[in-house]
Structure 1
Amino acid sequence: MLPPEVSLSELERDALTELVNIGVSRAAASLRQMVGGEVLLSVPSVEIIAERIATTLIEEREGRDLIAVRQDFTGAFNGRAMLIFPQSSGAELLRAVVGNDIPPEEEAEMEREALAETGNIILNNCLATMANMLRRSFDMSLPQVLRGDGRLLLEGMEPGGEGLVLFLYINFAVRDRSLRGYIAMVMDLPSLGALKRLVADFIERVMDDDSDLAPH
């Protein structure tokens, strides 16, 4: 049973899902411009789970051989944003962004740069949109390109991996390309409490706006 200060009501969960959806949709528009293909998105999933379960979920979805761009963010609440692909998508992303004419000796470095730039644009776009709607701002770390399993991606979130985290994720795929992955955000419980208060303020503003527009 979650403490009341961090448990989300159905309305709060719906509002948070919509905030994530808008943020990711804008990020997907940037990805579409970069790769020149339609980006298909799933409905966002919002879960409060143990960090070790989040690790397992990441590995179950894409296997243990992952490639990811990770950026930590700080501000009104803190967390980690990740753009996660199966290993095979790294080369496909590079071809989509740069083209097929890549010198073999430069491929590894160009792939890392393409991943870092793509992750930075998409994750910043997503967080900036959410921050704007919540009337807050965030500072983001430089993008890290990581290869490995789910434990590597969540390293340093909570000692021992037993702490509860808010795990947000949304799948994406690029039509006509072998390019798929997902965007995930992870926050600890103190940050979830701060986010919950901001979401409540957001709901109140939306309801006030609706009442102002209603016929009197």
Structure 2
Amino acid sequence: MSSDAITLSELETDALTEIVNIGVSRAASNLRKMVGDQVLLSVPSIEVVSQRRAARLIGEREINQLVAVSQDFTGVFSGRALLIFPEENSLELVRAVTGDELDPQEVLDIEHEALAETGNVILNSCLATMANMLQRSLTMTIPEVLRGDGPALFQPVDHETADGLVLFLYIDFAVRSRDIRGYIAMLMDLPSLQALKQLLGEFIERIVGNDG
């Protein structure tokens, strides 16, 4: 299947970028409350690429092992949301979230639980905002903590192959005074992209109608 099979128009991409920006800003606000420090974000990058390419995009940025919190979401559109960190950043995030009050062993003991909870808060706030703005609801699975490189984290969504096309969006973020940086990424298969296109069209009509 070629990438021409389905694409987002410039207007649809702008609308999705705006929606994702608002969702991620809300997620960043929640992360800021958890770590007590400013969270810096990049503008979302949105592309229709193969899953292989999506894995490579992360792999090109990170040569070390990664830790990710993964949650699948279902509704009128479905996919997978990931909060991804270089592995060496994950313990620093746990320290930040727990207020630097734990000794190294305690940090290790609760790392998995703390990462899952942090991912849950960030991904949920991001996706809930997006769903709300598109006037739809999404159901999310329990967060799962994964470890590995880019290809390991980007297992095919549903029954797609690694060559199957996905909507891949990602945002870089960093916590200002700490050595914490990572990505928020989302993968959606083509049927979901078609559903999303329709919702974006409705969203654009509502905005244009309100401006008119």
SS of match in other structure, 1:161: coil
Q: Check if 1:135 corresponds to 2:135.
A: yes
Larger Rg: 1
Q: Where does the alignment leave 5 or more consecutive residues of structure 1 unmatched? A: 212-216
The match for 1:107 is: 107
CA distance in 1, matches of 2:7, 2:48: 9
CA distance in 2, matches of 1:129, 1:94: 25
CA distance in 1, matches of 2:140, 2:106: 28
**How many angstroms does 1:101 deviate by?**
3.3
Q: Where does the alignment leave 5 or more consecutive residues of structure 2 unmatched? A: none
**1:132 counterpart letter in structure 2:** N
TM-score (norm 2): 0.95
CA distance in 2, matches of 1:178, 1:198: 38
**2:210 counterpart letter in structure 1:** D
Q: Which shifted more, 147-156 or 120-129?
A: 147-156
**How many angstroms does 1:100 deviate by?**
2.8
**How many angstroms does 1:113 deviate by?**
1.2
**How many angstroms does 1:151 deviate by?**
1.9
SS of match in other structure, 2:146: strand
CA distance in 2, matches of 1:52, 1:3: 17
**2:38 counterpart letter in structure 1:** E
The match for 1:74 is: 74
User: % of aligned pairs identical?
Assistant: 61
The match for 2:92 is: 92
SS of match in other structure, 1:7: coil
Instruction: Write out aligned runs for 1:145-156 (5 A).
Output: 145-156=145-156
The match for 1:49 is: 49
SS of match in other structure, 2:171: strand
TM-score (norm 1): 0.93
**1:125 counterpart letter in structure 2:** S
**How many angstroms does 1:60 deviate by?**
1.2
Runs of 4+ in structure 1 deviating by more than 4 angstroms, as ranges, are: none
